[in-house]
Chain A
Amino acid sequence: MVDISPDAIVFLKWGPVTLNATIVFTWLVMALMVFAAWLVTRRLSVEPPLSRSQNLLETIVDYMRSQIREITEDDPDIYLPFSGTLFLFIAVSNLLSIVPGYYPPTGSLYTTAALAICVFFAVPIYGIAKMGPVAYLKRYMQPTVFMLPFHIIGELSRTLALAVRLFGNIMSGTMIVAMLLSVIPFLLPIVMQVLGLLIGLIQAYIFAVLATVYIASATRVHQIKPQELI
């Protein structure tokens, strides 16, 4: 019997509080990322002999900034904290799946649903901060007021799609390897695991890009050309 998600692995049960593998590995990923960031930013330098780790971190941040600038055609600094954090967390938690004994926390529907709900609430927060509440809410009634239910259904369904897409991809990768290990335990699981690494990175990229696209579409100010007013 193959476990469908890391939620089934319970380390500690104390009353209503259950400490399962999803929470433990999420904390592990968070601690790892904070520790790595602290280790690199401890001694930064602006002089040419940069340390290798600082070079790596600067490359990642610079690449994320250029990607966000291309997608939103806007200043990337307001989107970078949210989208960049999403990308780094999902990428690290997916890429660590080659470590034996580690279950990616993104293979649990609860984790991906939490991330998707973060995006769901980030969209109106960014939109209202940029355009003000009235102009933001008026977007839901464009072009007519009859489009209001469809806009709301669209917001909900794309949140569901974000969560299920990430969960399905990561869970299927873990599951295929586990099934192949019991059928053909030689060489083929390794190939599938390499494919799983690629899929994990692509899914992290897609999640971050979609979050950025959703936020950018909410903050984009609809510019009325002078000739349209007449």
Chain B
Amino acid sequence: MNSIEIIAAVSIFTSGLTIAIGSIGPAIGEAWALARALGAIAQQPDEANTITRTLFVGLAMVESTAIYCFVISIILIFANPFWNHVVAGG
């Protein structure tokens, strides 16, 4: 294997691994937050507006870690800087 093939194989493997591992944590966290928010709404239906707004903002914060992983895996596949470097150099 020359260096281009090694970079391609490692990039594809790592991008899959990135999104796989990076989506587990936020998924568990979001499910937990959603379950707690539903419980809170069931207990206090009058506060549903405040709880929902806080839930959305919190979910966006939690989700951003998954989005970072997604961006990195997209960069590894479609805009890999090491790949471009090797192709341009050799």
- Say yes or no: is B60 at the interface (Cβ < 8 Å to chain A): yes
Which parts of A115-134 form the interface with B (CB within 8 Å)?
A: none
Q: Is B56 an interface residue (CB 8 A)?
A: yes
Number of interface residues of A (CB under 8 A): 22
Near A by CB (< 8 A), chain B positions 19-71 give 49-50, 53, 56-57, 60-61, 63-64, 67-68, 70-71
What chain B residues lie within 8 Å of A203 (beta carbons)? 60
B68:A168 contact, CB within 8 angstroms? yes
Indicate the member of A165, A210, A213 with the most B CB atoms within 10 Å: A165
The DSSP consensus for interface residues of chain B is helix
Q: How far in angstroms is the closest Cβ of chain A from B47?
A: 12
Q: Does A72 contact B (CB under 8 A)?
A: no
State whether the Cβ of A50 lies closer than 8 Å to any Cβ in chain B: no
Q: Would you give the 0/1 interface string for A179-204, flagging 1 where the beta carbon is closer than 8 Å to chain B?
A: 00000000000000000000000110
Write the nearest CB–CB distance from B19 to chain A, whole angstroms. 11
Given contacts A70-B50, A209-B57, whether A165 and B74 have CB atoms under 8 Å apart is no
Chain B: residues with CB nearer than 8 A to chain A? 49-50, 53, 56-57, 60-61, 63-64, 67-68, 70-71, 74, 78-79
Question: Does A40 reach chain B (CB closer than 8 Å)?
Answer: no
- B5: shortest Cβ distance to chain A, in Å? 19
**Which residue in A70, A167, A206, A213 is a CB contact (below 8 Å) of B71?**
A167
Question: Shortest 7 CB-CB distances between A and B: which pairs?
Answer: A168-B67, A206-B60, A165-B64, A168-B71, A4-B78, A161-B64, A209-B57
Report the separation of the CA atoms of residues A67 and B67 in the bound assembly, to the nearest whole angstrom. Answer: 26
CB distance from B65 to the nearest CB of A (A): 9
Closest to B63 in A: A165
Nearest-neighbour CB distance to chain B for A221, whole angstroms, equals 23
Q: Report yes or no: A4 in contact with B79, Cβ–Cβ below 8 A.
A: yes
Does residue A2 face the partner (Cβ distance < 8 Å to B)? Answer: yes
13 A/B residue pairs, CB under 8 Å, sorted by A: A1-B78, A2-B78, A4-B74, A71-B53, A161-B61, A164-B67, A165-B60, A168-B67, A168-B68, A168-B71, A172-B74, A202-B60, A205-B56
In the bound complex, what is the Cα–Cα distance between A169 and B67 (angstroms)?
A: 7
Residue in A1, A169, A209 whose beta carbon sits within 8 Å of that of B53 in the complex: A209
**Residues of chain B within 8 A of A4, CB atoms compared:** 74, 78-79
B56 neighbours in A (Cβ, 8 Å): 202, 205-206, 209
Chain B proximity of A64: nearest CB distance (Å): 13
A203's nearest neighbour on chain B, judged by CB, is B60
Cβ 8 A contact of A172, one of B57, B60, B70, B78: B70
Which B-chain residue is minimally distant from A165 (CB atoms)?
A: B64
Q: Is A175 an interface residue (CB 8 A)?
A: yes
Q: Which residues of A contact B78 (CB under 8 A)?
A: 1-2, 4
Apart from A169-B67, A175-B74, A206-B60: 9 A-B pairs, beta carbons within 8 A: A4-B78, A4-B79, A67-B53, A164-B64, A164-B68, A165-B60, A167-B71, A171-B71, A209-B56
